[in-house]
Amino acid sequence: MDEVILTRNVSKYYGKVRAVDGISLSVRKGEIYGCIGLNGAGKTTMIRLLLGMIHPTAGASFVCGKQVHSGNHDLWKNIGYLVETPHSYPDLTVRENLEIVRRLRFISDKKSVDAVMNKLQLGPYAERKAKHLSLGNAQRLGLAKALLHNPEILILDEPTNGMDPAGIVEIRNLLRTLASDHGVTIFISSHILGEISKLTTRIGIIHEGRLIQEVDTNQLDRLRRKRLLLNTFDNIAAQALLRTQGYPVNVSEEGTLEVTSQHAIDHPEAISTLLVQAGLPPTLLRVDEESLESYFLRVIGMLGGVK
């Protein structure tokens, strides 16, 4: 069986509020699946459904072929998770917090606590009480709890929340290694597309509780809009010239000319030659690619706009 995580038309309603609405998705073994959406889009609800913390109003979720429900506790043996901002017992030290998880997960190897602290650079804070940790280190402790038992599946909600840039890169590399070298399947949620796109192999965009697009990360490049931006000393003449040659030209918000024809984007040198031969040498000629954030906003805007 290749699908490690599977949801079938899963929905969760709170009264009239549709937190998650008929989402069907699957995550294959070793895949890093990124779930992205605005705050309140339904990402955390989706994660809680996958972890059996809430019951679906309709549909079902499956992990390793077994249906998720709160009584099926054997299911969680090989799953590590982190939901929203991680919280730990404030009066217990980092080591004690991890020791509790070690016992509750029946891990006989006592060195596993030290191992995971080293993996997440928590060694120097081992005897520090959780309430005295910085947000970044609290996040590391949350991740350490998720990774302590070397799980085959990781379900992580905003795992790099509160971390500094170096920490974000470190965690990204760690998760990548877990997926590529150890075959760990990772389901991760975030509202930062840039971060998700650097880590995941597939992205699902959730908006207003619905999965509105799934895309392989390596296809993102193809899906993002491109345009050729150019400037000359006489943009009006240049615009007229390009139009006579069959290129659709608009004036961008910045006042530069904007050509969206695929030929112009693929061959900017042809446009340059054309302009130079007409005595309108370009002072600016650049292929501009839509940012990930713009792409994301455009996708969710296509279905009713950003709310």
Partner 1 sequence: MRSILATFWAEILKIRKSRIFLMSLLISFFIPLMMGFLMFVVKNPELSSKLGIVSTKASMFGKADWPTYFGLLTEGIAGIGALGFAFVTSWVFGREYSDRTVTDLLALPVSRSSIVLSKFMVVVLWCAFLSLIFFVFGLFVGVVVNVSGWSGEIALLAANRFAVTSFLTILLCTPIAFFASYGRGYLPPMGFAIATLIAAQFIGILGLAPYFPWAIPVTYSTVGTGSSQIGVISFGILFITCIVGCLATFAWWRFADQT
**Residue ranges that bind partner 1, judged by CB under 8 A:** 48, 51-55, 70-71, 73-74, 76-77, 79, 81, 83-85, 87-92, 96, 99-101, 103-106, 145
Closer CB to partner 1, residue 48 or residue 227? 48
Give me the sheet containing 58-63, strands edge to edge: 17-28, 3-14, 58-63, 66-67
Closer residue to partner 1 in complex, CB, 55/267: 55
Q: Name the minimum Å distance from CB 160 to partner 1.
A: 18
Nearer to partner 1, 108 or 244 (CB): 108
Q: How far is the CB of 285 from partner 1 (least distance, A)?
A: 53
We find the least distance from the C-beta atom of residue 147 to partner 1, in angstroms, to be 14
Nearer to partner 1, 81 or 295 (CB): 81
Give the shortest CB-69-to-partner 1 separation in angstroms. Answer: 10
Nearer to partner 1, 64 or 92 (CB): 92
Region of residue 209 (left: phi > 0; alpha: psi -120 to 50; beta: else): left
Pick 43 or 48: Cβ nearer partner 1: 48
Q: Which is nearer to partner 1, 84 or 288 (CB)?
A: 84
Work out whether the CA dihedral 154, 188, 179, 88 comes out positive or negative: negative
DSSP string of the chain, one letter each residue = --EEEEEEEEEEEETTEEEEEEEEEEEETT-EEEEE--TTSSHHHHHHHHTTSS--SEEEEEETTEEP-TT-GGGGGGEEEE-SS----TTSBHHHHHHHHHHHTT---THHHHHHHHHTT-GGGTTSBGGGS-HHHHHHHHHHHHHTT--SEEEEESTTTT--HHHHHHHHHHHHHHHHHH--EEEEEES-HHHHHHH-SEEEEEETTEEEEEEEGGGHHHHS-EEEEEE-S-HHHHHHHHHHTT--EEE-TTSSEEE--HHHHH-HHHHHHHHHHTT---SEEEEEE--HHHHHHHHHHTTT---
Structure-token pair, residue 119? 């993996």
- Measured from the CB atom, the residue of 89 and 233 that comes closer to partner 1 is 89
Least spacing, CB of residue 301 vs partner 1, in Å: 29
Least distance (Å) between residue 300 CB and partner 1:
24
Shortest Cβ 16–partner 1 spacing (Å): 16
CB of 63 vs partner 1, minimal distance in Å: 10
Q: Give the span between the Cα atoms of 275 and 264, in whole angstroms.
A: 12
